[in-house]
Amino acid sequence: MQLAGRVAHMTGDGSDGWEIYYRARDLKARGVAVVNLTIGEHDIRTDPRILDAMAASARAGNTGYTVGPGKPDLRRAIAERVTARAGVATGPGNVMVTPGGQAALFAAHMVTLDPGDTGLYCDPYYATYPGTIRATGARDVAVPTRPETGFQPEAEAIAARAAGARTLLINTPNNPTGTVYTRRTLEDVARVAADHDLWLISDEVYDTQLWAGEHLSPRALPGMAERTLVVGSLSKSHAMTGSRIGWLIGPEAVIGAVTALATNTTYGLPGYIQDAGLAALSLGAAFEEAVSAPFRRRRDLAVACLASSNRLRLVPSGGAMYVMVDVRATGLSGNRFAERLLEAERIAVMPGESFGQAAAGHVRIALTVDDDALAEALARLAAFAEGLPDAG
């Protein structure tokens, strides 16, 4: 029996970039101690108050089907949060609740791209981006960004690839680089999107993890609310990765299309997960700050630990739960550096190449172990880099 070509088209024929993670996981399963700095997941679990709300809702009977774009009270709470944080008027009709940010990314591309269209995204990129675009039958085209300009997207690079494109996917604060796009960058991006009549899909799942600069949602820029779809999630902001709850914000017609898509795919989120999401949002900004605080602290720790290295250069980061390190002075690729680090020190980091060509010669370090373990791992990582033979 023959399968449709869709999944093969979606996954491509290359590696998925997670080899170091798999290797670290196998070593751990064999009883070898490995410091795992690969994956973007908190070292805390979901807050008991959120879990209590989830359990109470389920016990109260919210275990049946839920259909449509989400429970009205949750959509209202998300709309209020987006209005307050982004500074752009948002009503419940602009909100679709989705099973995580990933489902929102998928839905956004499904309703804006036809097979054969082109979808743009910035390189380096979050691992699922190319596959998400290809899943629609569209062609994925990467727009390179450069380490020399702090991985900020550049208008000329986007414009050069915009002919025939219908969407542009951006991400700030950025995974994997930690870059926070400046107002200037976002104004340039908005101008190119308007000039080329692109939908702008703005992944803002790290909007509560901000260490420098300001988080600006491009949907707030003049004329952009009609063409911008914003992806949000409680995964990172509220340590709820496994609950699968996020949202898509956009014009009401888009929310209508995405709702029709959900009717034939996810069929909505469990009611008790939606109630847990509402409880999470009601904990307010202080809670969100408490969840993000360890990453701010550890980012500062990384700056201090790597400051004196001759071989490693930290990419200046403004947000998200990662730091990116330029290892090119060692003469190794990001892949080779990560492999040798795992062999020699039993420390697992992600090669920059896993996130595209623009991050070649870099590694991404997830700040997801406790401060002492991170400080020790970074000291060993720096010593490992110094001990490598001259790049010559």
Instruction: List, in sequence order, the alpha helices (H) in 16-118.
Output: 19-29, 48-59, 72-86, 100-110
* Residue ranges in 109-128 that form contacts with ligand PLP under rule CB under 6 A: 126
Pairwise CA distance, residues 100 & 379, whole Å: 35
Instruction: State the sign of the Cα–Cα–Cα–Cα dihedral 243, 244, 250, 254.
Output: negative
> Of 7-15, 29-37, 95-103, 277-285, which segment contacts ligand PLP by CB under 6 A?
95-103
* Residue from 69, 70, 92, 100 in contact with ligand PLP (CB under 6 A): 100
Q: 38 Cβ partners below 8 Å, 6+ apart? A: 18, 20, 21, 24, 348, 349, 350, 366
Instruction: List, in sequence order, the alpha helices (H) in 111-181.
Output: 129-134, 155-159
* Residue from 241, 274, 330, 333 in contact with ligand PLP (CB under 6 A): 241
Least spacing, CB of residue 102 vs ligand PLP, in Å: 3
174 vs 309, beta carbon nearer ligand PLP? 174
Instruction: State the sign of the Cα–Cα–Cα–Cα dihedral 241, 320, 124, 381.
Output: negative
> Of 97-105, 181-189, 336-344, 374-382, which segment contacts ligand PLP by CB under 6 A?
97-105
Number of residues that bind ligand PLP (CB under 6 A): 13
Residue with tokens 């108050």, as numbered in its chain: 49
* Residue from 171, 292, 317, 333 in contact with ligand PLP (CB under 6 A): 171
Residues in the chain: 392
Per the structure block, which two tokens stand in for 110?
């499904």
100 vs 330, beta carbon nearer ligand PLP? 100
Kindly state whether residue 40 participates in binding ligand PLP, applying the rule CB under 6 A.
yes
Kindly state whether residue 175 participates in binding ligand PLP, applying the rule CB under 6 A.
yes
Kindly state whether residue 235 participates in binding ligand PLP, applying the rule CB under 6 A.
yes
Judged by the rule CB under 6 A, the positions of this chain that interact with ligand PLP are 40, 100-102, 126, 171, 175, 203, 205, 233, 235, 241, 246
